[in-house]
Amino acid sequence: MKNIGLALGGGAVLGAAHIGVLRALDEFNIKIDAISGTSIGAFVAVFFAFGKNWEEINAIASELKWIDITAISLSRYGLLSNDKLGDLIIDHLGDKNIEDARIPLAIVATDVTSGDRVILKKGSIAEAVMASTCIPGIFKPVVINDRMLVDGGIVENVPIHTARELGVKTVIGVDLNARHTYQKPGNILDVILNSFHYLMQHSDKYYTRDADLLIEPGLDDFNRSDMRQVGDLIRKGHEDARKALKNSSLF
């Protein structure tokens, strides 16, 4: 049995805090033996599983803008396409499959037809991340193996059970929503993201209680759509992860 698994949850732009968590884990010399990710957590998890360290992921994330990862969609199922996000992953990692990762990797998506949790452990990393980050109503669904997939946050926003299923003994979960309050929406994107994450908060409380260590960065000062916050989010994630690790009896 492998030792430590890391479960990275969803939270749109708040996901930059995951990079700070990776930095803290590195500073505490904590080796991650398997990783799972949902939504933006899947994006970060893929880079980590394929050998990118927190500094390299930071460099990639710090340059991102909405225009870099979205495009107008002609689909009746969504206003936008996140195909560009898949292209970005291929540009940095190559056209790789999940099973090629350096450490075991699992990505969570939702079958929008059945409502089932779909765990992606094989196949294209680009398509898997596109599916897991496909916010319903914003992005068109991604079809994999004849299943129409959308954001995994609907079924398991902090994929602790999925990490456990990879065979690890101890699971560290990162919940971006637990200590985040909501500001008045500034645009339609904020309205959709706030509404979507309200729904996920309730299920998060059920799933996250099974983590051996739950890191909950305090992200009240940030919103979910402004990519100009990335640097500050990384710093906050690092700061709060260090506190959680220092206070934990696990390490």
Give catalytic residues, as residue numbers. 39, 151
Cβ-count burial of 4 within 10 angstroms (0-12 exposed, 13-18 middle, 19+ buried)?
buried
Name the DSSP class of 45.
H
Q: Which residues of 223-244 are buried (b: 16+ CB within 10 A; e: fewer)?
A: bbbebebbeebbebbbebbbeb
> What six digits make up the tokens of 69?
């990862």
3-state secondary structure of 189: helix
Nearest C-alpha neighbor of 50 from the set 102, 111, 15: 102
User: What residues have CB less than 8 Å from 104, skipping those under 6 apart?
Assistant: 2, 33, 34, 35, 49, 121, 166, 167
Kindly state the helix (H) or strand (E) to which residue 206 belongs, with its residue range.
helix 188-207
**Residues 121 and 102 sit within 8 Å (Cβ to Cβ):** no
Find the helix packing angle between 83-93 and 40-49, rounded to 10°. Answer: 10
